[in-house]
Structure 1
């Protein structure tokens, strides 16, 4: 199993619309991934352990079975997915593919 991690760093003056992200963007992405999407999760940054501001406004994870199927989805629908980002944030996301070990 694999996991796509998407991180939106805390950025001065940036905006992030969680309602849009949860109600429009993530459902669209998971629908486009189809059966390759096992589950998804969205987390809102609250703070660092010491109480200082969170490093990330939002962290999202999408668990998938196949990296090649994920890449095929991006090839087919990537412009739609990336084009939608401006509807909920002006933060440049950081992306990472992980292999889930435990």
Structure 2
């Protein structure tokens, strides 16, 4: 199996007034993401739940979505970004941050 070459990272900052509905996020939203993105080459999704350091973690969550190529990711975003962005409002109050990265094997 080919290793993913690019990663879409979505960070959900834990800022004043922000909130995260984990039940919706881990259920309906992740199901929607898989359904929409798998036809475009989504390889896997990893979710991190913030724990710290300290009482409040800097991020509620960090999502990592892996694709085989930058072209596949770009196609996926072009076709699905509107639907996925609309769904974000159902589980997160705040401004998310998105980064696209090359996966560098070490």
2:17–2:94 CA contact under 8 A, matched in 1: no
**Residues 33-72 of structure 1: matches in 2 within 5 Å?**
33-35=37-39, 36-48=41-53, 51-72=54-75
In the other structure, the counterpart of 1:77 is 80
In the other structure, the counterpart of 2:97 is 94
In the other structure, the counterpart of 2:16 is 12
Show structure 2 runs of 5+ residues with no match: none
Show structure 1 runs of 5+ residues with no match: none
- Following TM superposition, the consecutive aligned residue runs of length 4 or more in structure 1 with deviations greater than 6 angstroms are none
Distance 2:42 2:6 in 1: 10
Distance 2:88 2:36 in 1: 15
Superposed CA RMSD: 1.3
2:46–2:63 CA contact under 8 A, matched in 1: yes
Structure 1 residue 42 displacement after superposition: 0.9
In the other structure, the counterpart of 2:6 is 2
